[in-house]
Amino acid sequence: MEEFAEPDTVIYLDVPEEEIIKRLSKRRICPNCGASFNLVTAPPKQDEICDFCGSKLVWREDDKPKAIRTRIKVQDKMIKPVLEYYKNKGKLLVINGNQSIESIFEEIRSRLK
């Protein structure tokens, strides 16, 4: 069995469920080349058309709100003991993930100093 080094810090990005659903439900995938787009943050140049191969983008079933809620419940159940473990060891760093990428980066950087 392989041994793994214990991390010094575990970073958890805390994002409200509704924001996760909002973000993931805007994802579209190219069924031909696999390119990924977000209709808000990284939209294709032409509506619903892949920038790379011209195929029509699809909305995957697991990116629809009902499926996302199910995925969140499963993740929460699985991750809760892991977060608790690192919290008890004083190694858990919870970051507000409901802010800009730049703000998240700065918060992580300043809190790791």
pLDDT for 28-45, tens place per residue?
999 999 999 999 989 999
Do residue 38 and residue 18 come from a single domain? no
Indicate if 57 and 102 belong to the same structural domain. no
Q: Are residues 82 and 101 in the same domain?
A: yes
pLDDT recorded at residue 3: 84
Considering the domain architecture, whether residues 98 and 75 belong to the same structural domain is answered as: yes
pLDDT reported for residue 4: 84
Domain containing residue 112: 1-25+64-113
Listed residue (24, 14, 16, 13) closest to 66, CA to CA? 24
Beta strands in 8-75 (DSSP E): 10-14, 27-29, 36-38
Which residues are within 8 A (CB) of 15 and not within 5 positions of it... i.e. 6 or more apart?
23, 97, 98
